[in-house]
Amino acid sequence: MLRNCVSTRTESTTFQSASFSRRVCGRHAYTRPLFRPTRNEVSMTLRTLSTVSESVIRAEYQRLCNAMGLVPVPLDIYVSDDQAPPESKTPLGSFLRNATPGYSGTKRIMVLPLCTGDDQPEELPSFPPPLWSKHGWPAWRFELWHEVVHQVSNDLMGSWDPKEPGRIRRDRSTSDQGHGIGWFRGICRLAAVFGADPEEIDLLLDR
Protein backbone atom coordinates (compact mmCIF):
# COMPACT_ATOMS: atom_id res chain seq x y z
CA MET A 1 0.00 0.00 0.00
CA LEU A 2 1.11 3.58 -0.56
CA ARG A 3 1.70 5.82 2.41
CA ASN A 4 -0.34 8.82 3.50
CA CYS A 5 1.13 12.23 4.33
CA VAL A 6 3.44 12.12 7.30
CA SER A 7 5.49 15.00 8.69
CA THR A 8 8.11 14.42 11.38
CA ARG A 9 10.71 16.75 12.88
CA THR A 10 14.34 16.05 12.04
CA GLU A 11 17.10 15.94 14.62
CA SER A 12 19.18 19.10 15.06
CA THR A 13 22.25 17.14 13.98
CA THR A 14 20.75 16.69 10.53
CA PHE A 15 19.98 20.33 9.76
CA GLN A 16 21.36 23.57 11.12
CA SER A 17 17.86 24.93 11.57
CA ALA A 18 15.09 23.16 13.48
CA SER A 19 12.52 24.69 11.12
CA PHE A 20 12.78 21.84 8.63
CA SER A 21 10.87 18.58 8.45
CA ARG A 22 11.13 15.26 6.70
CA ARG A 23 7.85 15.02 4.83
CA VAL A 24 6.45 11.90 3.25
CA CYS A 25 3.50 12.43 0.93
CA GLY A 26 2.32 9.57 -1.22
CA ARG A 27 5.54 7.72 -2.08
CA HIS A 28 8.25 10.34 -2.12
CA ALA A 29 10.20 11.65 0.85
CA TYR A 30 11.84 15.05 0.68
CA THR A 31 13.03 17.83 2.97
CA ARG A 32 11.21 21.14 3.09
CA PRO A 33 10.59 24.08 5.45
CA LEU A 34 8.06 23.08 8.11
CA PHE A 35 4.59 24.39 7.24
CA ARG A 36 1.54 24.26 9.48
CA PRO A 37 -1.42 25.88 7.70
CA THR A 38 -4.54 27.20 9.35
CA ARG A 39 -7.98 26.08 8.17
CA ASN A 40 -8.32 29.33 6.19
CA GLU A 41 -4.97 28.73 4.54
CA VAL A 42 -6.10 25.25 3.50
CA SER A 43 -9.24 26.72 1.93
CA MET A 44 -7.17 29.30 0.04
CA THR A 45 -4.83 26.54 -1.15
CA LEU A 46 -7.78 24.62 -2.54
CA ARG A 47 -9.03 27.67 -4.42
CA THR A 48 -5.58 28.36 -5.87
CA LEU A 49 -5.20 24.73 -6.92
CA SER A 50 -8.44 24.83 -8.89
CA THR A 51 -7.07 27.62 -11.10
CA VAL A 52 -3.36 27.61 -11.90
CA SER A 53 -1.89 24.44 -10.41
CA GLU A 54 -4.67 22.10 -11.48
CA SER A 55 -4.49 23.34 -15.07
CA VAL A 56 -0.72 22.70 -15.13
CA ILE A 57 -1.11 19.14 -13.85
CA ARG A 58 -3.90 18.45 -16.33
CA ALA A 59 -1.80 19.82 -19.18
CA GLU A 60 1.14 17.61 -18.20
CA TYR A 61 -1.18 14.60 -18.11
CA GLN A 62 -2.51 15.42 -21.57
CA ARG A 63 1.04 15.65 -22.91
CA LEU A 64 1.75 12.20 -21.48
CA CYS A 65 -1.43 10.76 -22.96
CA ASN A 66 -0.58 12.22 -26.36
CA ALA A 67 2.96 10.83 -26.24
CA MET A 68 1.91 7.38 -25.00
CA GLY A 69 -1.27 6.99 -27.05
CA LEU A 70 -3.45 6.80 -23.94
CA VAL A 71 -7.12 7.68 -23.67
CA PRO A 72 -7.30 10.24 -20.84
CA VAL A 73 -9.29 9.36 -17.73
CA PRO A 74 -10.78 11.84 -15.24
CA LEU A 75 -8.23 13.32 -12.82
CA ASP A 76 -9.25 13.94 -9.22
CA ILE A 77 -6.78 16.61 -8.08
CA TYR A 78 -7.18 18.13 -4.62
CA VAL A 79 -5.30 19.10 -1.47
CA SER A 80 -5.68 16.35 1.10
CA ASP A 81 -6.79 17.43 4.57
CA ASP A 82 -6.45 15.01 7.48
CA GLN A 83 -8.62 17.34 9.57
CA ALA A 84 -11.56 17.23 7.18
CA PRO A 85 -14.78 15.55 8.34
CA PRO A 86 -14.52 11.80 7.64
CA GLU A 87 -17.37 11.88 5.12
CA SER A 88 -16.05 14.87 3.14
CA LYS A 89 -15.38 14.00 -0.51
CA THR A 90 -14.28 15.69 -3.69
CA PRO A 91 -16.83 16.07 -6.51
CA LEU A 92 -15.38 12.90 -8.08
CA GLY A 93 -15.79 10.92 -4.88
CA SER A 94 -12.35 10.84 -3.25
CA PHE A 95 -12.22 11.35 0.50
CA LEU A 96 -10.49 14.61 1.37
CA ARG A 97 -8.56 12.80 4.09
CA ASN A 98 -7.02 10.52 1.49
CA ALA A 99 -3.42 11.43 0.65
CA THR A 100 -2.62 8.34 -1.40
CA PRO A 101 -2.38 8.71 -5.21
CA GLY A 102 -3.84 5.93 -7.28
CA TYR A 103 -5.08 4.74 -10.66
CA SER A 104 -8.13 2.51 -11.07
CA GLY A 105 -8.41 0.58 -14.30
CA THR A 106 -11.93 -0.51 -13.40
CA LYS A 107 -13.30 2.85 -12.26
CA ARG A 108 -11.28 4.65 -14.95
CA ILE A 109 -10.07 7.44 -12.70
CA MET A 110 -6.71 8.79 -11.49
CA VAL A 111 -6.55 10.26 -7.98
CA LEU A 112 -3.80 12.84 -7.37
CA PRO A 113 -3.96 14.37 -3.88
CA LEU A 114 -1.41 17.00 -2.92
CA CYS A 115 -0.23 17.46 0.63
CA THR A 116 -0.82 20.90 2.11
CA GLY A 117 2.45 22.80 1.78
CA ASP A 118 3.57 20.97 -1.36
CA ASP A 119 5.12 23.05 -4.11
CA GLN A 120 2.18 23.65 -6.42
CA PRO A 121 3.08 24.18 -10.08
CA GLU A 122 2.75 27.60 -11.63
CA GLU A 123 4.03 26.71 -15.09
CA LEU A 124 4.57 23.63 -17.22
CA PRO A 125 8.00 22.02 -16.83
CA SER A 126 10.16 20.99 -19.78
CA PHE A 127 8.81 18.04 -21.72
CA PRO A 128 10.26 15.49 -22.09
CA PRO A 129 12.23 15.94 -18.86
CA PRO A 130 15.87 16.86 -19.55
CA LEU A 131 17.03 14.57 -16.72
CA TRP A 132 15.62 11.34 -15.30
CA SER A 133 16.72 12.29 -11.81
CA LYS A 134 14.96 13.14 -8.56
CA HIS A 135 16.69 16.51 -8.55
CA GLY A 136 14.33 19.13 -9.88
CA TRP A 137 11.24 16.89 -10.00
CA PRO A 138 8.42 18.25 -7.79
CA ALA A 139 6.29 15.78 -5.83
CA TRP A 140 3.22 16.29 -8.04
CA ARG A 141 5.18 15.25 -11.14
CA PHE A 142 6.52 12.09 -9.48
CA GLU A 143 3.00 11.08 -8.51
CA LEU A 144 1.46 11.86 -11.90
CA TRP A 145 4.09 9.98 -13.90
CA HIS A 146 3.94 7.04 -11.49
CA GLU A 147 0.19 6.69 -11.96
CA VAL A 148 0.52 7.10 -15.72
CA VAL A 149 2.87 4.10 -15.74
CA HIS A 150 0.11 2.12 -14.01
CA GLN A 151 -2.31 3.31 -16.68
CA VAL A 152 0.12 2.28 -19.43
CA SER A 153 0.55 -1.15 -17.80
CA ASN A 154 -3.22 -1.58 -17.60
CA ASP A 155 -4.50 0.04 -20.78
CA LEU A 156 -1.71 -0.70 -23.25
CA MET A 157 0.12 -3.73 -21.89
CA GLY A 158 -2.71 -5.62 -20.16
CA SER A 159 -0.31 -6.43 -17.32
CA TRP A 160 -1.48 -4.37 -14.34
CA ASP A 161 -1.71 -6.33 -11.09
CA PRO A 162 -1.69 -4.36 -7.81
CA LYS A 163 -0.76 -7.56 -5.94
CA GLU A 164 2.12 -8.68 -8.13
CA PRO A 165 5.38 -9.37 -6.25
CA GLY A 166 8.26 -6.93 -6.46
CA ARG A 167 11.03 -7.21 -9.05
CA ILE A 168 14.78 -7.48 -8.48
CA ARG A 169 16.24 -4.35 -10.04
CA ARG A 170 19.56 -3.91 -11.75
CA ASP A 171 21.06 -2.51 -8.54
CA ARG A 172 19.79 -5.63 -6.67
CA SER A 173 17.14 -3.71 -4.74
CA THR A 174 13.58 -5.05 -4.76
CA SER A 175 10.59 -2.99 -5.84
CA ASP A 176 7.41 -2.86 -3.80
CA GLN A 177 4.41 -5.13 -4.25
CA GLY A 178 2.37 -4.03 -7.24
CA HIS A 179 5.52 -2.76 -8.97
CA GLY A 180 6.97 -5.95 -10.39
CA ILE A 181 7.09 -7.34 -13.91
CA GLY A 182 3.73 -5.88 -15.00
CA TRP A 183 4.72 -2.44 -13.73
CA PHE A 184 8.09 -2.74 -15.44
CA ARG A 185 6.45 -3.52 -18.78
CA GLY A 186 4.73 -0.14 -18.50
CA ILE A 187 8.08 1.44 -17.61
CA CYS A 188 9.70 -0.12 -20.68
CA ARG A 189 6.92 1.18 -22.93
CA LEU A 190 7.36 4.70 -21.54
CA ALA A 191 11.16 4.47 -21.78
CA ALA A 192 10.94 3.43 -25.46
CA VAL A 193 8.79 6.45 -26.27
CA PHE A 194 11.16 8.89 -24.55
CA GLY A 195 14.43 7.16 -25.46
CA ALA A 196 15.41 6.62 -21.84
CA ASP A 197 16.83 3.78 -19.75
CA PRO A 198 13.90 1.85 -18.22
CA GLU A 199 15.89 0.91 -15.11
CA GLU A 200 16.66 4.57 -14.54
CA ILE A 201 13.00 5.54 -14.84
CA ASP A 202 12.01 2.68 -12.52
CA LEU A 203 14.37 3.96 -9.84
CA LEU A 204 13.08 7.48 -10.35
CA LEU A 205 9.37 6.69 -10.05
CA ASP A 206 9.25 3.77 -7.64
CA ARG A 207 11.88 4.46 -5.00
Q: Where are the domains of the chain?
A: 39-205
pLDDT tens-digit map of 38-86: 444 444 444 345 567 888 999 999 999 999 999 999 999 998 888 899 9
Is residue 91 predicted with pLDDT exceeding 80? yes
Long-range contacts of 56-64 (CB under 8 A, 24+ apart): 56/121, 56/122, 56/123, 56/124, 57/112, 57/121, 57/140, 57/144, 59/124, 60/121, 60/124, 60/125, 60/127, 60/141, 60/144, 61/110, 61/144, 61/148, 63/127, 64/144, 64/145, 64/148
For 126-143, the pLDDT digits (tens) are 999 988 888 878 889 999
Which pTM value belongs to this model?
0.77
Rounded percentage of the chain residues whose pLDDT exceeds 90 = 47
> Which pLDDT value is given to residue 76?
96
